[in-house]
Structure 1
Amino acid sequence: MTQRSGATEPAIPPAVEETYGPADLGSLSLFGGGFINFGYWQGIDLERPLTEQDRISSQQALYRHVLGTLAPTKGERALEVGCGLGVGAAVALEEYDFAHVTGMDIHPQQLERAGRVNAELLARDPEQLRFVRGAAEEMPFGDGEFDSLYSVEAAQHFRDLGAFAQETARVLRPGGRAVVASFFVPDADPAGAGRLAELLDTFANGLDVAHSIPTLVGSLERAGLAEVRVTSIGASVWPGWDRWLARTWEPGTWPRNFLRAFEEGTLDYFTVTAQRPMA
């Protein structure tokens, strides 16, 4: 069995370190509830004024949409890659009956916050939940350690999708399932990255990487994963996110360009599922 020692601390990309370091994004009303994702707004009335509870519900719904693709999950061991404050890991435990969830994040300050936010759950049953520092490209776990792996709105920060895919295949047991949810360039057009840097500051400053869906799919397949399926959920993400942003951001400001990029066909939001074949 290959076991990553974790002796070398993973290098954090500068923009990621700055964004998720001193400031706690999960404490901002822009996100709310400790979640840090754009939300899955299906079923939320976007024609009325949105509330903070709507915002929290949209973020919970994104986790439920992702975790639902892994069913059945009872009694399984799961890994969340890019767990942030760990509130999604708590949803996984409390609503999907996993036996154990490991939340992994590259940023030590996020992991410190995750420990505080989930202190009660950790104290109640320390065998059910743990938080570990690690990078998506080099996970500090043994071969076949997990039944399932999921990642919610973190893959846009990964620097090497090929290495992530290889590690995903390695840490999953034969028959284990993976799901990745994030925003990607829908096709292989090389102009996509430049256009996103024009529209969105997070791509211009290096926080987000303009990965394409063909790159992710190819990486997963080359790593030996099978049954790779791609589903666009942008229609349930971008209009709601923009409607929420409209409370504080004027039209034409850069955060409102996520919806513009979607409408142009430059960016979309996807769930991508895959499975490690049985040995």
Structure 2
Amino acid sequence: MDQSRIPPTVHRTYGTDDLSRAASFAGGFINFGDWHGIDLAAPTPEDRVHSQEQLYRRVLRAFPEPRDQLRLAEVGCGRGLGAALALREFRFAAVTGVDIHPDQIERARTVNAKALATYPDRLAYTLGRADELPFAAGSLDGVYSVEAAQHFRELTGFAHEAARVLRPGGRLVVTTFFAAAGPEAAERLSLLLGSFADGLDVAHPLDGFTADLATAGFTGVITESIGAAVWPGLDRYLADTVPAGHWTRNFLGAWRDGLLDYHVVTADRS
């Protein structure tokens, strides 16, 4: 894969900076978490890890049983902990983590060395882009992505690639944060949030993605807002983790103002 196609902000954030080491992403997972049922009085790093695991479980439960017959790919797998969790807890037939950054694939293989040795034919990590997935047409039963699609430069290619690699009846599940439609929302997000200002995150409207899915050949598209389970818990944890006034504290206000929201999107390949 041509590494020059990795956007500079993505290269830095997930390469030399290794975002997984940040205190706000305790435990090596890199997502904002599903805080449902977690006591927010004084959340601990263990609670933070639990929230991130819960977000994966919410996504993975969207795949139908029997799951031991399903071959899945995770797009934007990062350090690969979620793919290992998917195999360990949900007993899928096989899970392949895909990431654009070679450093992340190296980390995933190192961090999950024991799981790779235990399941050599069922767990793997490989380089790939969301719009150029390393799988044959119709070879997968499921594709999922956990808080990575906000980094994709555009979602149209991802929708079409997911449709290409899924068999008819296969399922796509995506969870991430989407922006309100229109240039005004994108501009306000870039003023409030550093990740939008420097181009790491892209202000993708939810309606644009669902339209892309329909055009790519998906049916039964369902969107579920889970912002109430994400933003208040994340902000409470950040209050004890990042410096006062840090831009990440603006996510909660942006959600309350309707500039963005967190969604789970499911769709079936026709």
Q: Which TM-score applies when normalising by structure 2? A: 0.97
Q: Does 1:147 align with 2:121?
A: no
Q: How does 1:1-279 map to 2 (within 5 A)?
A: 8-9=2-3, 11-46=5-40, 48-72=41-65, 73-186=67-180, 188-250=181-243, 252-277=245-270
Which amino acid is 1:269 matched to?
Answer: Y
Tell me, yes or no, if the aligned pair for 1:148 and 1:172 is still in contact at 8 Å: yes
Secondary structure of the corresponding residue to residue 24 of structure 2: coil
Q: Which amino acid aligns with 2:91?
A: D
Contact 1:102-1:129 within 8 A present in 2 as well? yes
- Does the CA contact (< 8 Å) of 1:10 and 1:134 recur in 2? no
Name the CA distance, whole Å, in 2 between partners of 1:74 and 1:192. 42
- Cα distance change of structure 1 residues 266 and 57 upon mapping to structure 2, 3 Å threshold: same
Distance across 2 between alignment mates of 1:217 and 1:160: 13
Aligned equivalents of 2:261, 2:155: Cα separation in 1: 17
Unpaired runs of 5+ residues, structure 1, are 1-5
Q: Please state whether the residue corresponding to 1:33 is helix, strand or coil.
A: helix
Structure 1 residue 249 displacement after superposition: 3.1
1:200–1:258 contact (8 Å) kept in structure 2 = yes
Counterpart amino acid of residue 123 in structure 2: L
Amino acid at match of 1:157: H
Q: Letter of the aligned partner of 1:56 in structure 2?
A: V
Superposed displacement of residue 189, structure 1: 2.6
Identify the structure with the greater helix proportion: 2
Aligned equivalents of 1:217 and 1:51: distance in 2? 36
Change (3 A) 1:208 1:246: same
Q: Percent identity?
A: 54
Cα deviations by residue, 1:153-190 (Å, 9 ceiling, x for unpaired): 0000001211000001000001000100000014x233
Q: Name the CA shift for 1:263/1:51 in 2 (closer, same or farther; >3 Å).
A: same
Counterpart Cα distance in 2 of 1:45 and 1:126: 38
| Aligned CA-pair RMSD | 1.2
Distance 1:19 1:9, change over 3 A: closer
Equivalenced residues, count: 269
Deviation at 1:10, TM superposition (A): 6.8
Counterpart-to-counterpart distance in 1, 2:111 and 2:4: 23
Q: Distance in 1 between matches of 2:118 and 2:96?
A: 16
Q: Tell me how far apart the structure 2 counterparts of residues 250 and 128 of structure 1 sit (CA, whole Å).
A: 42
Structure 2 counterpart of 1:122, one-letter code: L
Q: TM-score under structure 1 normalisation?
A: 0.93
Query: Is the 2:131–2:158 Cα contact (8 Å) retained in structure 1?
Result: yes
Unaligned stretches of 5+ residues in structure 2: none
One-letter amino acid of the counterpart of residue 238, structure 1: W
Q: Which residue type is aligned with residue 123 of structure 1?
A: A
SS of corresponding position for 1:237: helix
